[in-house]
Amino acid sequence: MYAVHHRSATVDGHELFYREAGPADAPTIVLLHGYPTSSFMFRELIPLLAGDYHVLAPDHLGFGLSDAPPVTEFTYTFDALADLTSALLDRLGVDRYALYVQDYGAPIGWRLALRHPERITAVVSQNGNAYEEGFVESFWADVWAYGENPGPETEPAVRAALTREAIRWQYLHGVPDPSLVSPDTWEHDHALVSREGNDEIQLALFRDYRTNRPLYPPLQEFLRTHEVPVLAVWGRNDEIFGPAGAQAFARDAKDAEVHLVDGGHFLLESHLDVVAGHLRAFLGRVLR
C-alpha cells in the first residue's frame, strides 16, 4: 500500500485541498471529481495507481475540504473552477498529465485540455460527459429549465438535488447490489453540501452548467486533431449520463477504449477493481 498525502495550497487567495501520491518523477494523472462529492471519491483508487504514477486529486472550490467562500465573495462558474485548477497545477509544477474526469470534473477538465492541449497525455472519462447524446433527458430537463429561467418556479426542482435522499440516489441507482456502496459516501457528501451558504454555491453551478455544452464540439475536434488516447469506463445503468455518452468517444478519438460496466454513476463505489484494472492496463499501454 502506498502512502497518500493530504495537502493544501493557497491559489489566488483560496486554500485548495488535494490528495497526492506516487513518485514525483512518474507520469502524472490528475483526478477531477464530480457533484456532490470531492477527492474523497478517489480515496481507494489513488493507492492502486500510486505505484506507477504521480497522482493528484484536488477538491474544487466549494467542495470537500477546499475553501468555500460565499457567492457574495466568489463568482462560481465552471470557468472559474478551471482557472483555479489550472493555477494549482502550475503551482505544483505539473505541465504534462493524463486527465481522469467524472461528472463536474469533465467540463473542468475539458477547459484545461482546450486551453493547453499540449499538456494532455491521455483522457479517462468515468461517467464524464462530452456529447449531447450522453444526457439523460429525464434527469437534465429541470437543470436546463433552471439555467434558462432561474427563479421561484424552477428552483425547487434543482434544490431537491441537495437533499440526502437525492444524493443517496446518485450513489445507488443502477447498482445491482446496493449493499456494496457504503452509506459513508452520501452522508459525507450531504454533510458538506449542507454547510451554511453551500446551497447557493451549488445553485450557481447548476445555473452555469449550460455553458458546458458549447465546449463539446471543440473538445471533439481536440480529440480528432491531437489523437489523444481515450478510455471511457462507464456505469452502463447511469440515469444521469447514459452509456451513449461513453460510446460516442469512439467517433472522435483515434485510440479509444470503451468499457460499459454493470453499475451506476459512482462506479468506483461498487466496481473499484474493475475500473482500476481497465485504467492500469490503459495507462500502462499509452503512457509507457
- Over residues 170-223, the pLDDT tens digits come to 999 999 999 999 999 999 999 999 999 999 999 999 999 999 999 999 999 999
Instruction: Say how far apart CA 112 and CA 192 lie, in whole Å.
Output: 26
Residue 225 corresponds to which cell in the numbers above?
486533431
Output the DSSP codes for 29-64.
EEEE--TT--GGGGTTHHHHHTTTSEEEEEPPTTST
- The single residue of 14, 173, 265, 278 carrying the catalytic annotation is 265
Q: Residue 232 forms beta bridges with which residues? A: 125, 258
Q: Which CATH class is domain 4-287?
A: alpha beta
The 10s digit of each residue's pLDDT in 41-83 is: 999 999 999 999 999 999 999 999 999 999 999 999 999 999 9
Residues contacting residue 151 through CB under 8 Å, at least 6 positions apart:
none
Residue 2: its pLDDT value, please?
A: 85
Q: Can you give the residue ranges of every domain in the chain?
A: 4-287
265 is an active site residue: yes
